Amino acid sequence: MVEMSGAIVGYIRLSSQEQANNPQTREQQKTRVIRAGAEKIYEDIQKGRGRKRLSYNQLIQDVKDGKIRKIIITRIDRISRSLITLKELVETLNEYGVTLVVLDQNLDLGTAQGKMWLNMLGTLAEWEVDLLSERVQHGKRYQRSQKWANGSCPFGYKVVAHKYVLDTTPFLCLLRDRPDNYLSLSQVEDLTLLPGRTIAEVSRDFIDIFLQVKGARRALKVGFEKYGIGRTHAKFNGTDGVLYWSPRGFTLWLKNPILDGHTAYLKYKTVRGKRIPLPEEEWQLVKNTHADQRLFRDDEAAAVKTSFQANSCSGRGAFQNNLTGADNYRPFAYQTGLVYCQECNSRCTSKGHKNEYLYYGCRHAGVGCNNRKGVRRKSIEESLIEALVEKSRGLNQAETSSDELPMQSAALVRMEEQLAALEQIPSFNPDIEALKEKLRQQIEAEKNPFLSTDKVLDTSVEELIRTGNNLGIWHLLNNDEKVEIYRKLVHKIYIQDGKVSSIIFNQ
């Protein structure tokens, strides 16, 4: 301990309730600490467990700056009601050679009795921490057993009776949604009659924007421009009601299972006092806790996950600069991270200057690897399509030669039965004809997953390849479809001596 010179000060505190009901308490405390020798008074009007006390924090800073040598208080609970905070305070005072005098308890930490009290304080503080931890863990276990909502919830939701529900609070309105008679609506008390958007509707709109543009940064750019949102220093999407995401925050929001009707527990672990997020596969996930309150529609959570996986491999350079174009991804964006060197098994890098002349080559070519020739991205795609058609025809040929009939989905069987029943109706009816045409389209979509992005996500790799038995199917895919489909089908593409040597498909 290093003795330091400084002032003798007093610290007094009273709660706002004490100030209202018993204002003389302040003067009593002040008089007592001055009589005990205090030359300066630090004063707070706040609860004793709070850490955001201005005068208390200034007191600690002055201790660290060497301006104080003794602190006088009337009772121990005037400086802190928390054993943990009190122990931290005493350790700080001891480190900087500052004495704490407690008038009512007749304690002076500079004496033997005071030091004994300090040791007891440390033991009690640890005991309080253990008790608090046990209470918290017991409460959380009970919460999980009841499948209750967590204390906090993502933007777009609120917790009602321990359940997640969509937040239908009116939030904002766009000028373009303003009706012609908007002036006459200025006195309307029922906000639901106004053409505004609720928090849930704004949240849903940001999901739609992401599914359209495929990237978090791109979605925020479009969404912020749409709603006129600028940069803010407020707490993002917090209790202050400010709508704002960082790209990282928006990504985590979209990945939150609450948006898909599920509740996740045990998402973090504490290591040396720090809260560390766990991988998603280690979460305790309870499905369909609020299935009727989802922000996601069917299969959209899987589509979002697929987009993030593709983007993590492709990087930001995979996107078009123009946000209004037909495609979000650049040509051949799906190839990023899939092309490998056959000789050294390292991931190949994209080289070249002009878009049409870009090619992949081994990153170690000439420096430990003899595979010096690169392969143009267009040639890689042509080889991939040829391999897919060949594999598709092989699967279909094996199916044809088999005695077993190919499996049909329950949905396909049901729709074909419905269509057959409608075909038996003899008379012409426009409504029935429209229904039959709709069923034919649904049957075709069920048989050909390439007609629907949602169907692609639900279809197995083998079924997708089996369906693509002609070159036209693959050549007609746009850039966005190639990213979704090819990255689902292909595990690795190997190149050797200026050509594709082998392709490994996912199972």
Please report whether residue 443 resides in a domain: yes
Please report whether residue 84 resides in a domain: yes
Last-in-domain residue among 297, 315, 344 = 297
- Together in a domain, 129 and 161: no
- Together in a domain, 63 and 164: no
- Together in a domain, 119 and 266: no
- Together in a domain, 129 and 74: yes
| 244 to 155, 195, 231, 235, 241: CA distances (angstroms) | 10, 22, 8, 9, 9
Report the alpha-carbon distance of residue 118 to residue 285 in Å, rounded. Answer: 45
What HEC string does 395-440 produce? HHHHHHHCCCCCCCCHHHHHHHHHHHHHHCCCCCCHHHHHHHHHHH
Residue pair 374/500 in contact by the 8 Å Cβ criterion = no
Backbone angles phi, psi at 236, to 5 degrees: -65, 125
Please report whether residue 397 resides in a domain: yes
56: containing domain: 7-135
Q: Which of 185-194, 210-219, 314-323, 367-376 has the weakest average pLDDT? A: 185-194
Tracing tokens 């499905």 back to the chain, one arrives at 287
Confidence at residue 1, expressed as pLDDT on a 0 to 100 scale: 40
Whether pLDDT at 165 is above 90: yes
- Together in a domain, 238 and 356: no
Confidence at residue 234, expressed as pLDDT on a 0 to 100 scale: 57
Whether pLDDT at 334 is above 70: yes
Backbone φ/ψ region at 214: left (φ over 0), alpha (ψ -120 to 50), beta = left
Q: Burial letters for 396-412: b for 16+ Cβ neighbours within 10 Å, e otherwise? A: eeeeeeeeeeeeeeeee
Taking each helix axis from N to C end, the angle separating 479-489 and 300-314, rounded to the nearest 10 degrees, works out to 90
Whether pLDDT at 82 is above 80: no
- Together in a domain, 491 and 347: yes
- Together in a domain, 408 and 265: no
- Together in a domain, 286 and 367: no
Please report whether residue 174 resides in a domain: yes
| % the chain with pLDDT above 70 | 82
Task: Give kind and range of the element (H or E) at residue 265.
Answer: strand 263-265
- Together in a domain, 168 and 209: yes
Number of residues in the chain: 507
Its sign, for the CA torsion 341, 344, 345, 350, is negative
Whether pLDDT at 3 is above 50: no
Whether pLDDT at 316 is above 90: no
Confidence at residue 104, expressed as pLDDT on a 0 to 100 scale: 83
Last-in-domain residue among 272, 297, 322 = 297
Report the alpha-carbon distance of residue 159 to residue 149 in Å, rounded. Answer: 7
Confidence at residue 204, expressed as pLDDT on a 0 to 100 scale: 96
Please report whether residue 396 resides in a domain: yes
Taking each helix axis from N to C end, the angle separating 199-213 and 300-314, rounded to the nearest 10 degrees, works out to 50
Please count the structural domains in the chain. 3
Confidence at residue 299, expressed as pLDDT on a 0 to 100 scale: 82
Q: Which long-range contacts (CB under 8 A, 24 or more apart) does 392-401 make?
A: 392/465, 392/466, 392/467, 392/468, 392/469, 393/469, 395/462, 395/465, 395/466, 396/466, 396/469, 399/466
Its sign, for the CA torsion 267, 269, 275, 279, is negative
Q: What is the pLDDT of residues 118-142, one digit of tens each?
A: 667 656 766 766 777 788 788 888 8
- Together in a domain, 356 and 478: yes
For residues 278-302, average pLDDT: 91
Residue pair 154/294 in contact by the 8 Å Cβ criterion = no
CATH number of the CATH domain containing 116: 3.40.50.1390
Please report whether residue 347 resides in a domain: yes
- Together in a domain, 353 and 478: yes
Please report whether residue 124 resides in a domain: yes
Q: Work out the mean pLDDT of the chain and round it to a whole number.
A: 82
Last-in-domain residue among 297, 320, 342 = 297
Q: What is the pLDDT of residues 184-239, one digit of tens each?
A: 776 666 556 667 889 999 999 999 999 988 889 999 999 999 988 877 665 555 55
Q: Which of 159-163, 215-219, 422-426 has the weakest average pLDDT? A: 422-426
Please report whether residue 151 resides in a domain: no
Report the alpha-carbon distance of residue 357 to residue 440 in Å, rounded. Answer: 43
Cβ atoms within 10 Å, residue 33? 25
